[in-house]
Structure formats: structure tokens, C-alpha cells
Amino acid sequence: MTSPKSFVRSGALRTLSLRAPLDLLFLLCCFILAADVLGPEIFGHGKTKDYGLWYWAGQQVLKGGPLYPGDIHQYFEFIYPPLPAILLAVPSWFGKIALYSVLSILNIAAWWYTGMLSNAMTGSGRTAGPWLEALPALVTVTFVFDMFDLGQPNLVLLAMMLYGFWSLQHQRSWLAGFMFALAAAIKVFPIAVLPYLVWRRNWGAAVATVAFAGILLYIVPAPIRGFERNAAEVKTWYQGMVGSSSEKGFGQRDEQNWSWVNQSLIAVTHRLVRPINYNQEDPSKPARTMNVIDVDYRTANWIVLALSALLGLGFVAVMPRQARRTARSDAEELGILFCLMTVASPLARQYYFMWLFFPMTVLMHRAAFDERANVRLGTWLALGAAGILMLLALPWFPNVLQAWGNNLVATAVLAASLAWHIRHPPVAAGLNAAAALKADSS
């Protein structure tokens, strides 16, 4: 069996250079994005979106106040596990500007390392030129803007997951498990990596993920919140966020979960099979439905379960056997995994599709470096199709296009392209061509 260590090139990562024009452009973009966060707080009426919530959560920890209401049926202001509030408390002690500066710096670092790790883990065996290296960041810059503007952690979580897989490829299973667990303890949906680790028999990383998740959820907050209180808060959070689901919605945000803003597999499927008002997040808009059939809530859940099972089985079917794994196939496999993790999250708003950064990077390397000209062209066309679909989320297009799942379909295009590459590697193509040539000559 080929060691995963041979699948990666340790020298593929690099540091920021002030002599590189595109690196200077990166820094300029970071300055503008950070100014969007700090400018309103310093010179205006205060930064809005989720930033005020993060400050509130940090202050609640500092003051010893509750993070969640006593009744799980009441509205949760803070919908994350207790650990993020603990982490937010430290910069919150120094005030809003300090907190927002720290969050901006984290996003900047995550953006840089997401690009570096993604380009280093494509398995192409080639070093990307400056423009190819920058292309994934350029085409996903609107998602990055959302990360800064809204204050959401999805970009940071993506960098954590990529570093986890980078560590796993370098035989650092416990470090990989810690990164996966930390991401899941901040925002639950990265825990979907666990079945993949088990299937690929990465036992060390799987055990570490479970162990560190328990430590981060129950042990780390205990000295600050108290063990019993923290355990009760974790239980309250779980019941209110994970354990609650009905026809009206799930996870404390009923008005968003079935509306057009959510493009998860669950939400789009329910909108297609039940008469759900996809404008429900805005009561001022007229009610609109888009279902092609009409089934009850329970049947819709069975359809979601069936589709999820088919996607999972399809993923398993395209995975190469352990003995046939290569750097190339591993990258394509991880790209599909990131696609599935994105759409499998019950709530997948526009900014969640930031996680397509890595799948797109892998395909861009295939489009640039594959030795087959027709494959390069086909891969660029697939990337173009996915890009056009994602552009339909821009404000001047009707919301119904997002209700139909333009980003979900774009994700499917990327995943299907990666699956094709797994099943048709260049070596296999060359062997088949040689066999056909031999048959013709005989």
C-alpha cells in the first residue's frame, strides 16, 4: 500500500511575499474587508450582522450569565455550543473593537491558508503558477466577503478541516482529530467527517475526533462555567438545536429553514415535495410554493433519507480501493466529501458554499494539468457551468432560483466532475488507449 506521506509535498506551502503582485492584491482585499468590519464600529453606528451577538456571548461568559433560555421552546439568541462563547470571552474582555479585530485576523489567516492548503493538496504533482493559485480565491471572493461582513466562522472552519486532512496525510492522526473536533465543537456540521474516517479506517483520527469533541464540549468550558452548569447548557443547546424538528422548521430558525435562503439537500427536497412557502423568511412578501408533488412531512423525510443514502452509496462506489489510492484520487475524494458535507448540513445558506473552494481548486488543477486535451476542456466547461449556476444567487436574479437550489446543483456538477476524474485517471486512460491500439494493429 502506498503511504499517504508520498501523496503530498511538504514544500508546497509558502509564506506571504510582499514582492508578489497577487499577494499584494490579497493584502489590499484583506484591508478592505477588515475595514468593512472595523470601520462602522470605529467611525459609524457600530457593526451589525452577527458581530453584536458574538460580543454578547463573550460578555455572558464574563458575567456568568446564561447562554440559552431555560425553556427550549423559547428563541435562542446564541445557537452554537458553549465552547465558542468561551473562546469569544477572551477578546470580548477588551471590548468590541478588540473582538472584531481578532475575528478579522482569523478570517484573513484562514483565507490565506485555505488557498495554500487547497493548492498543495490537489495531488496534481505540479506547482500552480500565480494566477492558477489565485483563481479559486478570485471566484469565491463574494463568499469571503460574506464571511467578513456577516461575521460567520465557515471560512475558519474550512481552514481547520483542510489542516486536519493535511495533518492526516502526514501521519498526525491525533492532530487531525483535534482539528475536526474543534470545527465540530464550534459549528456542528463538520462532524459529518466522522463516517468518512471510519469508512477509510482512519481509526486514530476517528477516535481522536470523538475524544476531543467530548473534551471540548464538556471539559474545557467546565472550569469557567462549572461542570454541572456546562453539561446542562450543552443539553439545552442539543435539545433546542439538534433534537428539535417539525413541519414548521428546525434548529430555532423556523422562518429560514424551509425558505429560499437554505439550499441544503433537506430544505430543497422538502420545498420540491411539500407546498412550503419559500418566502416565509420575509412576511411582507407574497407566499410562493414550488413543489412538484405533494406529500406529508413524514414522507418528505423518507425521501430525504433515501436521497442521502443514494448519495452516500454513490460516494462509496466511486472511492478507489485502498491499494489503488493515489495523491490524485485522494484529492478528488476529499473534494467530493467537502461537497457532500456542505449540502448535508441541515442549514446551508449562501456563505456555506465557501466550502466549495477546495473542490474547485482540485478541478482547476485538473483543467490546467491533465495530459488529455479533451479532459481539460471538459473540466473547464464543468467549472464554467458551476460558476454560472452560482452567479444566479446574485441580488439581481429572482430568489426562486435559489429556492430551486442553484448552489446545490452547482455542487452536484462539481461532485460529478470529481467522481468522473476518480474513475478515469490519466494512467488508466493511457493503458486503455494502448490496449485499443494493440487490438487494432492485430
Task: Supply the pLDDT for residue 434.
Answer: 42
Assign 248 a pLDDT band (cuts: 50, 70, 90): low
How many residues would you count in the chain? 442
Whether the predicted pLDDT of 440 surpasses 50? no
Model pLDDT for residues 196-234, shown as the tens digit of each residue = 999 999 999 999 999 999 999 999 999 999 999 999 999
Which pLDDT score is estimated for 430? Answer: 46
Top pLDDT among 427 and 133 is at: 133
Question: DSSP letter at 351?
Answer: G
Name the residue ranges covered by the structural domains of the chain: 262-442
Residue 249: predicted pLDDT: 62
Q: What integer is the mean pLDDT of 98-116?
A: 97
Q: Which long-range contacts (CB under 8 A, 24 or more apart) does 124-132 make?
A: 124/328, 124/331, 124/365, 124/366, 124/368, 124/369, 125/327, 125/328, 125/369, 126/365, 126/368, 126/369, 127/12, 128/365, 128/368, 130/20, 130/21, 130/22, 131/22, 132/364, 132/365, 132/368
What was the pLDDT predicted at 244? 66
Q: What is the pLDDT of residue 250?
A: 65
Is the confidence at residue 10, as pLDDT, over 70? Answer: no
Instruction: Tell me which of 109-113, 285-289, 293-297, 432-436 is least confident.
Output: 432-436
Nearest by Cα to 249 from 223, 278, 221: 278
Cα separation, 230 vs 70, whole angstroms:
13
- pLDDT of amino acid 23: 92
pLDDT band, residue 437 (cuts 50/70/90): very low
Q: Which of 379, 381, 366, 364 is nearest to 426 (CA)?
A: 366
Query: Which long-range CB contacts under 8 A does 167-171 form with residues at least 24 apart?
Result: 168/4, 168/202, 168/205, 169/4, 169/5, 169/7, 169/8, 169/121, 169/330, 170/4, 170/5, 170/8, 170/10, 171/4, 171/5
Q: Judge whether residue 438 has pLDDT over 90.
A: no
pTM over 0.85: yes
CB 21 within 8 A of CB 133: no
Residue 338 banded pLDDT, cuts 50, 70, 90:
very high
Which H or E run contains 433?
Answer: helix 426-441
Q: What are 19-74's pLDDT values in tens digits?
A: 889 999 999 999 999 999 999 999 999 898 899 999 999 999 999 999 998 877 78
- Cell 452509496 sits on residue: 313
- Using 50, 70 and 90 to split pLDDT, how confident is the model at 321? very high
DSSP 8-state secondary structure symbol assigned to residue 286: P
The confidence band for 441, taking pLDDT boundaries of 50, 70 and 90, is very low
Q: What is the pLDDT of residue 76?
A: 86
364 grid coordinates: 482547476
* Average pLDDT for the chain: 90
**pLDDT(153) > 50:** yes
Torsion of CA 415, 419, 422, 428, to 10 degrees: -140
The model's pLDDT over 383-433, given as tens digits with 9 standing for 90+, comes to: 999 999 999 999 899 999 999 999 999 999 999 999 999 999 997 544 444
Q: Tell me which of 191 and 254 has the higher pLDDT.
A: 191
Q: How far is CA 382 from the centre of its chain?
A: 20
Q: What is the pLDDT of residue 7?
A: 41
Least confident of 169-178, 183-192, 250-259, 266-275: 250-259
The C-alpha cell at 240 is 433546542
pLDDT at 178 over 50: yes
Cell triple for 344: 448535508
Give the other-Cβ count within 10 Å of 45's Cβ.
7
